[in-house]
Structure 1
Amino acid sequence: MFTTSKTAERVFYLMAYFFEGASFLNPRAYAIMHREHHAYSDTEKDPHSPHFFTDIFQMMKATIITFRDHLKRTTEPEARFSGNYPEWPLIDRIGSSILSRLLFGAAYTCFYIVYASHWWMFLLLPIHFMMGPVHGAIVNWCGHKYGYTNFDNNDQSKNTTPFDFLMLGELFQNNHHRHPNSANFGKRWFEIDPVYPVMKLMHCMRIIKLRKAF
């Protein structure tokens, strides 16, 4: 969707590690898995199509296994899925380590201990620990089961809601599968992708360079 300088890429990499924290996702492994998802959308080769699992937890389990295989390089991806993704081996090793995830989890817990004003708030901690996988599960389950379609993509991708602020535009899955290189996931006048204006601003500030969508 965009290109950027090597310096900005490293800054974004560090920010991704810091803000994803306990649920840091290795960019290379995620990129390969996401490309497989687009290439095999809602077929048996799709790493996380909800139409081949009895519930969302089984889908999450299968997704984790696929991601782990790419992370540990135990499976060789098709050549067309490799390349053109950022890599930083040091951050990848740290961010994917059990120690890093435990330290972030401890930091989250300490924050809740200091600032939580009611006991029930601690029930949110598991979601905080697993925010990345939870977000991915919602997007891939709901975005391929519930909603409406603008395009016939030969799959089950849906636009779950016309106002997608909670998932930051990612529940416009039908649009995204039709135009995977477009930074704007919203395609109709009432479909608002809240991240796109931010990317446009970053483009104007020359932090990134948006590519022409094909």
Structure 2
Amino acid sequence: MTAVIIIFIIHWYGSLFFQTFFHHRYASHAMFTMSRTWEKIFHILSWIFQGSSYLSPYTYGVMHRHHHAYADTENDPHSPQFDSNFFTMMWRTRNVYNDIDHDQVDVLAKFKKGVPSWRSWDNFAGNNAVRLVWVIFYIFLYWLFDAPLWTYFVFIPLQAMMSPLHGVIINWFSHKLGYRNYDVGDTSTNLMPIDWLMWGECLHNNHHKFGGRPNFAVKKWEFDPMYPCIWVMNKLNIIQFKKGKLDTDYM
């Protein structure tokens, strides 16, 4: 049982690490730069850690830019203002994601500009057969560690839908609960001042105020655990901060 919990925790934090670092802060907001080689490395690492719920960084980036441009309006891909519960919001987000991913909608140039695109890789990683192989792999791991039967029906579905699960936590609950530092014209909130659960993503109201800022913490008592990781990667020259983006005052 201990091994199963460890597997789940590694998947939770590993998947979300790449979603917030690569998909959100890089692909969507271009908070820093990186080489094309590193882009491809992070595409592959995202697939390894997101597994069956792999998200295309291109599609995510385009969709997320729509969220910021149209927050809490009918054009927002995911707003609790227009859905009765988070299941219907997740389904609507899925439909918007698929429309963008399959080029079934016209996307304005400003939403696509600079978003990393490796579509041949996305087509492989997002293939339903590949997603199924990942689910089988999760089941094999549970069998290998002699997991209790109930964990197959609880943890496996959560792992199979890991990325959408992360998305709904932020896009539903961080527009419903928590506190606000800024009146930004939408319902975004901060769920917690020290966000260990979601790698800083729950500092959502701060992010909606300062969309291009790599450190989501603003107040002295807030802490964004992703920012020190980004800071280290900048020091290692894996990424490069843009001028004016290094928020060392809030380390």
Q: Which residue of 2 is the match for residue 58 of structure 1?
A: 88
Tell me how far apart the structure 1 counterparts of residues 221 and 49 of structure 2 sit (CA, whole Å): 30
Q: Which residue of 2 is the match for residue 95 of structure 1?
A: 125
The within-5 A match list for 1:31-180 is: 31-122=61-152, 123-180=154-211
Q: Tell me the SS of whatever aligns to 2:61.
A: helix
Tell me how far apart the structure 1 counterparts of residues 65 and 150 of structure 2 sit (CA, whole Å): 39
Q: Shift of residue 51 of structure 1?
A: 1.2
Q: Please tell me the residue identity of whatever aligns with 2:160.
A: F
Cα 1:116–1:192 change in 2 (3 A) is: farther
Q: State the Cα deviation string for residues 2-52 of structure 1 (Å, max 9, x = none).
A: 101111111111111111110011111111110000001111111101111
Does residue 191 (structure 1) correspond to residue 212 (structure 2)? The answer is no
Tell me how far apart the structure 2 counterparts of residues 213 and 34 of structure 1 sit (CA, whole Å): 20
Unmatched 5+ residue regions in structure 1? none
Tell me how far apart the structure 1 counterparts of residues 44 and 110 of structure 2 sit (CA, whole Å): 27
Q: Shift of residue 121 of structure 1?
A: 2.2
Unmatched 5+ residue regions in structure 2? 1-30, 247-251
Q: Shift of residue 119 of structure 1?
A: 2.7
**Aligned alpha-carbon RMSD (Å):** 1.3
- Does 203-212 or 124-133 show the bigger shift? 203-212
The within-5 A match list for 1:12-27 is: 12-27=42-57
Q: Tell me the SS of whatever aligns to 1:43.
A: coil
Q: Shift of residue 103 of structure 1?
A: 0.6
Q: Tell me the SS of whatever aligns to 2:179.
A: coil
Q: Percent identity?
A: 38
Cα 1:167–1:116 change in 2 (3 A) is: farther
Q: State the Cα deviation string for residues 71-94 of structure 1 (Å, max 9, x = none).
A: 000001122111211111221110
Is contact 1:164-1:172 (8 Å) kept?
yes
Q: Which residue of 1 is the match for residue 8 of structure 2?
A: none
Q: Tell me the SS of whatever aligns to 2:208.
A: helix
Is contact 1:17-1:91 (8 Å) kept?
no
Q: Shift of residue 116 of structure 1?
A: 4.3
Tell me how far apart the structure 1 counterparts of residues 123 and 175 of structure 2 sit (CA, whole Å): 32
Tell me how far apart the structure 2 counterparts of residues 115 and 129 of structure 1 sit (CA, whole Å): 18
Is contact 1:163-1:192 (8 Å) kept?
yes
User: Between Structure 1 and Structure 2, how many residues are aligned?
Assistant: 214
Q: Tell me the SS of whatever aligns to 1:52.
A: coil
| TM norm structure 1 | 0.96
Is contact 1:25-1:96 (8 Å) kept?
yes
| TM norm structure 2 | 0.83
